[in-house]
Amino acid sequence: MTTNQPTPPTAATRVAVVTGGSRGIGRAVCRKLARDGLAIVVNYAHDAAAAEETVAAINAAGGRAIPVQADVADEKAVATLFDRAEQEFGGVDAVVNCAGRLALSPVADLDLAVLDALYRTNVRGAFAVAQQAARRLRPGGSFVGFSTSVVGTQFPAYGAYVAGKSAVESVMLILARELRGRDITVNTVAPGPTATDLFLEGKTPEQIDRLAKAPPLERLGTPEDIAHVVAFLTSPEGHWVNGQVLRANGGLV
């Protein structure tokens, strides 16, 4: 009897697809997983130079990585992204969906065109990547989606962003249950304030300082902090964690 399920990898051939892998948290995830021995497909939307820098750093350190351009909201482009992973490295064992947009506005003033663009990447994109992950991940594999701790903190001006990320959290929990029997985990990481260009843009030094002091650990997170959480969730050691939302925020309530 034949099946269409992907075959399990050998120990030396684990492969990760990381969307939004050219900068910020995505880049840190790519570099951390590469240090852990995974071959990396570095997805990017527009910044080819940044993706090439990420790939060059991984390869210079003895890892294996390739850049692949794809708009995560374009399902055909996402399918091609996974095709490239299979063609170059033989399969897919970890998918980390770091790609995302952020737009801040009070609800009353929000331009709904901005809302549509935000949803296109953060919600439709999450669905497109999740579909391919569900179809392509090999047994023992892991999918990590990204939310935000602001789903819990409910900061003003984050209404559109939180609406999309709340949807992501719910979909990831459902997907974990839909993949019963496949030996595949699905979890969501929800960072708190993290020192990336996306987070720092448009904020005053006073705002940044106030947010840095909010967690009990009294600092901003770093992309590397989040990458270590992702590395655990995609590792054999983290495989018993499934269907969870992990708030990686230094204790921010």
Main-chain phi, psi angles of 212, to 5 degrees: -65, -30
Q: Which helix (H) or strand (E) holds 168?
A: helix 159-178
SS3 145: strand
Q: Supply the DSSP symbol for 5.
A: S
Task: Please tell me the total number of residues recorded for the chain in this structure.
Answer: 253
Query: What is the rounded distance in angstroms from the CA atom of residue 174 to the CA atom of residue 152?
Result: 20
Query: What is the rounded distance in angstroms from the CA atom of residue 239 to the CA atom of residue 170?
Result: 20
**Hey, what are 16's tokens?**
């990760």
Query: What is the rounded distance in angstroms from the CA atom of residue 63 to the CA atom of residue 168?
Result: 31
Judge residue 89's burial from the number of C-beta atoms within 10 Å of its C-beta, 0-12 exposed, 13-18 middle, 19 or more buried. buried
Which of the following is catalytic: 44, 119, 158, 161? Answer: 161
Q: Is 44 a catalytic residue?
A: no
Residues with active-site annotation: 161
